[in-house]
Amino acid sequence: MALIITDECLNCDVCEPECPNQAISMGESIYVIDPARCTECVGHFDEPQCVQVCPVDCIPVDPAHVESKETLWSRYRRLQAQAPSANGVPGAVVPR
């Protein structure tokens, strides 16, 4: 499942830098989560980091994006493969 930010959001800016998938951004009036990038933090953390830090508890599961753990793992792997590596090539392994 992806998560969703409700209109109780205070625009406090706390969650956005905590997201390991860069799934959170400022929307038209409040912060929004891109369901194509949210893995519920699967692959990075045991708990959704945005939920952990939100002071008003306004980030529930999005009923429109109910997904299995396997789907979330697949998304995590796809995002990792796309992420620029240290040498700027997506997914490339940098020799040490």
# of chain residues touching ligand SF4 (CB under 6 A): 28
**Which CB sits closer to ligand SF4, 58 or 67?**
58
Give the separation between CA 83 and CA 59, rounded to whole angstroms: 25
Torsion sign (Cα): 66, 69, 71, 75: positive
**Which CB sits closer to ligand SF4, 48 or 67?**
48
**Which CB sits closer to ligand SF4, 34 or 89?**
34
> Of residues 12-51, which lie at the interface with ligand SF4 (CB under 6 A)?
12-15, 18-19, 21, 23-24, 31, 33, 38-41, 48-50
Give the separation between CA 43 and CA 80, rounded to whole angstroms: 10
Residues near ligand SF4 (CB under 6 A) are: 3, 5, 9-15, 18-19, 21, 23-24, 31, 33, 38-41, 48-50, 53-54, 56, 58-59
